Amino acid sequence: MPFITVTTWPNQTDEKWQELIEEITATVHKTIGAPLDKITVVVNTIPQTQWGEAGVIGSNPQFARLSRLQ
């Protein structure tokens, strides 16, 4: 059955991870009818020092601005 992987930065509380997993599970169940006990959600976290966009490392204090420049 569905196996969903989310990859993001590790900047959330356990409560927020729980909420994310619950919401994804509920959406998959509602959308495709998969049984709740057959839906698996895995959250992988990648440190900001190992993530980049537009050539800018995620830990750069100017990341939000610099990674959006064209």
pLDDT value of residue 69: 77
pLDDT in tens, 2-43: 999 999 999 899 999 999 999 999 999 999 999 999 999 999
Q: Torsion-angle region of residue 28: left (phi > 0), alpha (psi -120 to 50) or beta?
A: alpha
How far is Cα 33 from Cα 1, in angstroms, rounded to an integer? Answer: 10
Give the predicted TM-score (pTM) of the model: 0.83
Q: How many domains does the chain have?
A: 1
Tallying the residues shown for the chain, one arrives at 70
pLDDT value of residue 32: 98
pLDDT in tens, 48-68: 999 999 999 999 999 999 999
CATH (domain of 21): 3.30.429.10
Q: Domain of residue 60: give its range.
A: 3-66
Q: Which residues contact 47 (CB under 8 A, 6 or more apart)?
A: 9, 10, 58, 59
